[in-house]
Amino acid sequence: MKNRKNTRPGRAPRDRRLFRYHLILSLSSALLLSAPWLRLGSLPLLVALVPLLVLRRSLLAHAGGGLAFGRMLGWSALTFGGWTALTTWWIWYATPVGPVASVIIGITLSCTAFMAFHWVEARSKKALGYTLLVTAWISLEYLYLTGEISFPWLALGNGFAGDVKLVQWYEYTGIFGGTLWALVSNLTIYEAIVSPARGLRRWAAPATVVLLPAIVSLTLYHTYKEGDRTVKVHIVQPNLDPYEEKFDMPQAEQTALMARLIREAPAGTDYILLPETAIDDNLWEESLRLSDEVRTFRRIVTDEYPGAELIAGASTFRRYDAGQPRTNTARTNENIDFWYDAYNSALHIDSTGKVGIHHKSVLVVGVEKMPYYNLTRHLSFLIVDLGGISGQLGVDTVQQVFDGPHGVRSAVAICYESIYGEYVAGFANKDAEILFVITNDGWWRDTPGYRQHFSYARLRAIETRRAIGRSANTGISGAINPRGDVLASAGWDVRTSLTADLPLSDRKTFYMTYGDYIGRLSAYVLALSILYFIAYRTRRRNHLVD
């Protein structure tokens, strides 16, 4: 009894100190992971997981030979949940369920990768554990990129969007190269910290992993040469509040406002760019040319800017008459006797009278589409209405590239499409020489969301080596060159227009050819790692290995 009384008072403070130590480490990792999305620089990503790895080492040291699996899972969930909450809370303005779902999925994916590493590394070789962590993390990012439920906002490779001089090699790897760089850097730096070796030699590996990609990138940045052909792009930012103005103001007034901003373009303008849903007057695609808005914009192009091409976002519909084949996204209601598809579209208008159209095909889950629609189509009433067209939208089966009257080929990514590197590269693979992004980032108000969205367009420019013009209803409209540099931009809550000369390119990058191959290869290596682990444990149980 005497010994028990003497040990209890000493044990509780030690446990509390250990808890505070682990809490500091967990929160440190969450803050370091969040830094790039909070505009605090991308380099913290290279050490962001180190505190969590140190926490794991401490837990194992105090576990008495056990794995402390439950405690490690709790600290991992705090770390990854904190990271996701700190960087995506702004989705709340569009839909309250959004950040909740984002945090839950973020915790699930990140914890799955980290806890698989935690469990395997303790039961096998360290190299196998590290391989599993890297390949599982990248594979799960790739799954989140390509799955029906997709929101790859926090892929580690996206974190370098604010420091494009460091990732010019994305033209070879895409964002998964950045994720790979971040993970390997964390592991090598952690190993150097815990290594029993003394001296600078233990830092040779992390220094190489961190510095070599940066040096290669800076070399690519400073040696990149743009082509001689350029186009003059005039970008309009009408700055209409989507909650109070955009979908209440008569379309005629919006058209007049944008016409005034278009007329600020200088002579010789080649492209005029208007934002997503610039025309929200429910256009039927069978009669686009008869629309008052289309005729107004075409008249401006023909009479005032001859030879220019105008690109504008629009809400459009396609009708299916009786007996005509229709898509599985077609809809009807009790007030009409036909079926139709609703689209979030981009129109291409030039002085020849031709009107081209691209339908947004990468749709926002819960806003523009229901995942696994064939199974959930009767639940489409749950989709959030953010103005314009809501419900399950139709999509294109091909990526449309527009041919201009002067032989220049261009393409448009609509809002959410611009965060998908392989999808955007598809436009360049179809010989688009310049890319455009049209969006409405006002749903997120003045938060980090619209800034993050703009920065991802810089990565698309590097991956494809195509210049990008970006028109936002509000947020950041701007012009980006093929190195990812911002040549001109318009800030939040500003009604304005801007003009920039952007280079054309027909270059084909390695990434354009092979896309997100690192994600696919990681899935294969992950499967092999799991099989190797199973074989390793089986042999140990049979006493065939030491």
For residue 429, what pLDDT band results from cuts at 50, 70 and 90? very high
Cβ atoms 118, 67 nearer than 8 A: yes
Computed on alpha carbons and rounded to an integer, the radius of gyration of the chain in Å comes to 26
Same domain as 202, residue 58: yes
Same domain as 324, residue 214: no
pLDDT exceeds 60 at position 386: no
pLDDT exceeds 90 at position 539: no
Cβ atoms 176, 516 nearer than 8 A: yes
> Strand pairing partners for 409?
403
Helix, strand, coil share of the chain (percent; to 5): 55, 15, 30
For position 462, which CATH number holds? 3.60.110.10
pLDDT exceeds 90 at position 13: no
In-domain check, residue 533 = yes
Sign of the dihedral through C-alpha 411, 413, 418, 420: negative
Position 374 scores a pLDDT of: 58
For residue 382, what pLDDT band results from cuts at 50, 70 and 90? very low
For residue 404, what pLDDT band results from cuts at 50, 70 and 90? confident
Q: pTM for the complete prediction?
A: 0.91
In-domain check, residue 405 = yes
pLDDT exceeds 60 at position 384: no
Same domain as 261, residue 192: no
Same domain as 523, residue 438: no
Q: Which of 56-70, 165-179, 506-520 has the lowest mean pLDDT?
A: 56-70
Q: How far is CA 111 from CA 32, 45, 63, in A?
A: 17, 17, 20
Same domain as 200, residue 162: yes
Torsion angle (degrees, nearest 10) of CA 308, 313, 314, 318: 90
Tokens of 310: 């105008």
Same domain as 236, residue 163: no
Q: Of how many residues is the chain composed?
A: 546
In-domain check, residue 393 = yes
For residue 198, what pLDDT band results from cuts at 50, 70 and 90? confident
Same domain as 530, residue 443: no
The model's pLDDT over 24-80, given as tens digits with 9 standing for 90+, comes to 999 999 999 999 999 999 999 999 999 999 999 999 998 877 889 999 999 999 999
Same domain as 478, residue 446: yes
Cβ atoms 182, 48 nearer than 8 A: yes
Same domain as 138, residue 263: no
The model's pLDDT over 97-125, given as tens digits with 9 standing for 90+, comes to 888 999 999 999 999 999 999 999 999 99
**The total number of structural domains that make up the chain:** 2
Cα separation, 369 vs 129, in Å, equals 38
Q: What is the DSSP letter of 384?
A: -
Same domain as 504, residue 386: yes
Report the amino acid identity of residue 282. Answer: N
**High-pLDDT (> 90) share of the chain, %:** 73
Q: What is the largest CA-CA distance in the chain?
A: 99
Cα separation, 106 vs 272, in Å, equals 39
Position 248 scores a pLDDT of: 85
Other C-beta atoms closer than 10 Å to the C-beta of 538 total 11
In-domain check, residue 546 = no
Same domain as 310, residue 353: yes
Other C-beta atoms closer than 10 Å to the C-beta of 86 total 16
* Dihedral pair phi/psi, residue 168, rounded to 5°: -65, -20
What is the mean pLDDT of the segment spanning 420-445? Answer: 95
The model's pLDDT over 205-250, given as tens digits with 9 standing for 90+, comes to 999 999 999 999 999 999 999 989 999 999 999 999 888 888 889 9
pLDDT exceeds 90 at position 95: no
Same domain as 265, residue 200: no
In-domain check, residue 430 = yes
For residue 328, what pLDDT band results from cuts at 50, 70 and 90? confident
**High-pLDDT (> 70) share of the chain, %:** 93
Q: Which domain holds residue 76?
A: 2-223+517-541
